[in-house]
Structure 1
Amino acid sequence: MSNPIKVLIQGTGFAGQGHAEAFRYAGAEVVGIVGRTPSVVESVAKELSIPYFSTDWQQALKDCKPDIVSIATPGGAHETPIIQAIEFGCHVFSDKPLSTTGDSAKKLYELAKEKGVKTAFASSFRYMPHVIHAKRLVEQGMIGEPLEVECISHFNLERDIPFGWSHRKEDGGGRLNNNFTHKLSIVTSIVGEEILSIMGEVRDDLGKAPIVEGVHNFKKRRDFIPSDLSDPTLKWGDSNVEWSYTVLAQLSSELAAKPVSVLFKHGGLQPRFNEDHIVVYGSKGAIYIKGHYACGPLYYYDENKQWTELPLPQDIIDNTPEGEGDTERNWRYLIRELVNDVKGENILPYQTFKEGAQYQQLIDLIRRNDNWIDVSQL
């Protein structure tokens, strides 16, 4: 394609603005942006120098004729605009979750496959530099056969963050949608993409959150926590999603004779005592990465039974996009892959709606909380 790839963005918040900058970084032309509120979408469009803005998605598709659309709204608002974009013939980049139910996400994947459009699913923390390094070390046999993976994180989120989409299952909220998707993507990237079995337990230990007007940018929601939570006029919304989860999975690995066991443990509201981490244990060694999303550094446990910090290889550093933070850099990495794919260039496989649909079906299974066996009479 000789002309710049044209992109239409849906969503004006943190994700929408981040997606717009990421597509520009990849050399695409952001031709329009769509939002719910006229004054907000106009303001964001002017701030980002986007020539077209609207509150009508279908009309924007007709007016802008984009090659790619970017879906940057909460998950509860994904299904209809994605269907409309696919029917229009657009390739689609969607933030996670792909949709709010496994059935809905599967329908989107099957439609995209039927129409022959390219899709990308932004469980994109697999592009953290230390994750890419760990993947390389495992492939090189540095730890022998991978046996077990442990993912531990505690976020200690403020309980009084204003009520919004993250508190509602029907809007794509919950820690499985917004944390587990990244963790699962990281682990499958390192060990192997085939998920064999899964079970889990979830818990809502929040209950409610204050309702506050004016929250637009998800990243700035903490700025709106009420100063007086005892104010009798303050309204409260009920949470209906998980804020903690424990998941066990088994993955197939080409490097292992048996399935690899994986533990995902996340407490969204619980404080951490030691570092959040991801560890890959093997028959000959182990890899430890600090941070809930593997921000690093990375340590290698060798045959001498010692942990040694390993620096990032220069080629991984050179291939990492610039960006304000990890989220922005990872969007840029995945979007660069999608844009290059649309251009017809040779690229490595990346996550598509296939994984987005699979992940949402897994989340539905985990949320059932039906893995318990009553042993009270034993």
Structure 2
Amino acid sequence: MDRKLKVLVSGTGFAGQGHADAFRAVGAEVVGIVGRTESVVIKVAEKMSIPYAGTDWQKALEDCKPDVVSIATPGGAHYGPIKQAIEFGCHVYSDKPLTDTGESALELYELAKNKNVKTAFASSFRYMPHIIQAKRLIADGAIGEPTEVESISHFNLERDIPYGWSHRKEDGGGRLNNNFTHMMSIVTSVIGEKILSIIGEVRDDLGKAPIVDGVHNFKTRRNFIPKDLNDPSLKWGESNVEWSYTVLAKLESPIAKKPVSVLFKHGGLNPRFNEDHIVFYGTKGAIYIKGHYGMGPLYLWHENKTWQEQPLPQDIADDQPKVYGDTERNWHYLAREFVKDIQGETVAPYQSFKDGSLYQQVIDLIRKNDNWTDIRHLQ
């Protein structure tokens, strides 16, 4: 392809601006940006030197005629714009979750497949350098056959973060949509992409949050926590999503004879006592990565019966986009692969709407909370 790909972005907050930067970094032209509030979208477009700003998505598609659209709004606002973009013939890069229900996510996957457009699903923390390192080590036999994985995280989020999309299932909120999607992507990238079975339990241990005006950027929402939470004039919104989850999964691995067991344990509101971590266990050793998204460092347990820190291979470091921030760097990584694929270059497999729709169907199953066996009659 001789000309630059034209990209239209949906969303003006942290993700929208991050997606725009990611596509520009890989040589695409960001021709427009769309948001809900005219004054905000105009301000962001001016700041980022984006030539087109609007609030009407269909009109923006017609005016900008993009090759690619980037969906960077909360998950509950994805369905309509993605469907319109696919009908328009655009390739689609979407942040997670794909939509707010498995049914609508599956519909978009099928529609994209039928329209023969390419899609990218940005559960992109699988591109963390130490996750890539773990994948290489395990593929090379460093821990023998993988047997189980443990993913533990506690975020200690402030309970009084202003009420917004993250508190509402219909808007794509909840810790499954916004944490589990990344964690499942990380583990499948290392162990194998095929999920055989799943069981889980979720809990809403928040209940409510204060309603505050003026919150626009997800990254700065903590700055809007009311100083007086006992103010009688303060209004409150009810949460209807999970803030903690426990999920067990079995994955098929091309390098293991038996299914690999995985434990995902996440407490969004719970304080951590020690490091969040991801551990890959095998028949001959184990890999421990500090940090909830595999931030590192990485330690290997092998025949010496000790944990030894492993340096990051230089080629993995060199292949990482030179961008500050884990989230932003991972967006850049996926955007690079996506653009190369659209331009006809050979790239490694990346996650698409096939994965996004599967994850959303899995989340629907977990949220049913119907896996319990009543044993009161045994006592």
TM-score by shorter chain over 0.5: yes
Instruction: Tell me the equivalent position of 2:339.
Output: 339
Instruction: Tell me the equivalent position of 1:293.
Output: 293
- Aligned length, in residue pairs: 378
Q: CA deviation at 1:377?
A: 1.9
Instruction: Tell me the equivalent position of 2:369.
Output: 369
Q: Following the alignment from structure 2 to structure 1, what is the Cα–Cα distance between the partners of residues 5 and 312?
A: 33
Q: CA deviation at 1:323?
A: 1.6
1:130-164: per-residue Cα shift (whole Å, max 9, x none)?
00000000100110000000000000000000000
Q: Following the alignment from structure 1 to structure 2, what is the Cα–Cα distance between the partners of residues 10 and 45?
A: 12
1:37-68: per-residue Cα shift (whole Å, max 9, x none)?
00000000000000000001001001111000
Q: Following the alignment from structure 1 to structure 2, what is the Cα–Cα distance between the partners of residues 278 and 308?
A: 16
Structure 2 counterpart SS, 1:377 = helix
Work out whether 1:113 is the aligned partner of 2:113: yes
Q: CA deviation at 1:376?
A: 1.4
Work out whether 1:223 is the aligned partner of 2:223: yes
Work out whether 1:351 is the aligned partner of 2:351: yes
Please list every run of at least 4 consecutive aligned residues from structure 1 whose deviation after the TM superposition is greater than 3 angstroms: none
| Amino acid of the structure 2 residue aligned with 1:48 | M
Q: Following the alignment from structure 1 to structure 2, what is the Cα–Cα distance between the partners of residues 76 and 369?
A: 22
Instruction: Tell me the equivalent position of 1:153.
Output: 153
Q: Following the alignment from structure 1 to structure 2, what is the Cα–Cα distance between the partners of residues 333 and 377?
A: 54
**TM-score, normalised relative to structure 2:** 0.99
Q: Following the alignment from structure 2 to structure 1, what is the Cα–Cα distance between the partners of residues 295 and 273?
A: 18
Q: Following the alignment from structure 2 to structure 1, what is the Cα–Cα distance between the partners of residues 134 and 27?
A: 29
| Amino acid of the structure 2 residue aligned with 1:66 | P
Q: Following the alignment from structure 1 to structure 2, what is the Cα–Cα distance between the partners of residues 211 and 288?
A: 40
Q: CA deviation at 1:322?
A: 1.7
Q: CA deviation at 1:344?
A: 0.5
Structure 2 counterpart SS, 1:264 = strand
Instruction: Tell me the equivalent position of 2:74.
Output: 74
1:61-90: per-residue Cα shift (whole Å, max 9, x none)?
011110000000011111111010000000
| Amino acid of the structure 1 residue aligned with 2:18 | G
Instruction: Tell me the equivalent position of 2:311.
Output: 311
Q: Following the alignment from structure 1 to structure 2, what is the Cα–Cα distance between the partners of residues 18 and 225?
A: 24
Structure 2 counterpart SS, 1:299 = strand
| Amino acid of the structure 2 residue aligned with 1:358 | L
Q: Following the alignment from structure 1 to structure 2, what is the Cα–Cα distance between the partners of residues 299 and 362?
A: 31
Structure 1 counterpart SS, 2:316 = helix
Instruction: Tell me the equivalent position of 1:252.
Output: 252
Structure 1 counterpart SS, 2:209 = strand
Instruction: Tell me the equivalent position of 1:193.
Output: 193
Q: Following the alignment from structure 1 to structure 2, what is the Cα–Cα distance between the partners of residues 10 and 292?
A: 28
Q: Following the alignment from structure 2 to structure 1, what is the Cα–Cα distance between the partners of residues 88 and 267?
A: 41
Q: CA deviation at 1:304?
A: 1.4
Q: CA deviation at 1:268?
A: 0.2
Alignment of 1:15-164 (within 5 A): 15-164=15-164
Instruction: Tell me the equivalent position of 2:329.
Output: 329
**TM-score, normalised relative to structure 1:** 1.00
Q: CA deviation at 1:324?
A: 2.1
Q: Following the alignment from structure 1 to structure 2, what is the Cα–Cα distance between the partners of residues 106 and 316?
A: 34
Q: Following the alignment from structure 1 to structure 2, what is the Cα–Cα distance between the partners of residues 204 and 322?
A: 38
1:305-361: per-residue Cα shift (whole Å, max 9, x none)?
111000100000000012220000000000100000011001000000000000000
Q: Following the alignment from structure 2 to structure 1, what is the Cα–Cα distance between the partners of residues 299 and 113?
A: 40
Q: Following the alignment from structure 2 to structure 1, what is the Cα–Cα distance between the partners of residues 274 and 372?
A: 29
| Amino acid of the structure 2 residue aligned with 1:122 | A
| Amino acid of the structure 1 residue aligned with 2:312 | L
Stretches of structure 1 lacking an aligned partner (at least 5 in a row): none
Q: Following the alignment from structure 1 to structure 2, what is the Cα–Cα distance between the partners of residues 241 and 311?
A: 39
Stretches of structure 2 lacking an aligned partner (at least 5 in a row): none
Q: Following the alignment from structure 1 to structure 2, what is the Cα–Cα distance between the partners of residues 113 and 322?
A: 33
Q: CA deviation at 1:365?
A: 0.2
Structure 1 counterpart SS, 2:201 = strand
Instruction: Tell me the equivalent position of 2:3.
Output: 3
Q: Following the alignment from structure 1 to structure 2, what is the Cα–Cα distance between the partners of residues 370 and 104?
A: 22
Q: Following the alignment from structure 1 to structure 2, what is the Cα–Cα distance between the partners of residues 63 and 81?
A: 15
RMSD: 0.4
Instruction: Tell me the equivalent position of 2:166.
Output: 166
| Amino acid of the structure 2 residue aligned with 1:201 | E
| Amino acid of the structure 2 residue aligned with 1:93 | Y
Instruction: Tell me the equivalent position of 1:183.
Output: 183
Identity %: 75
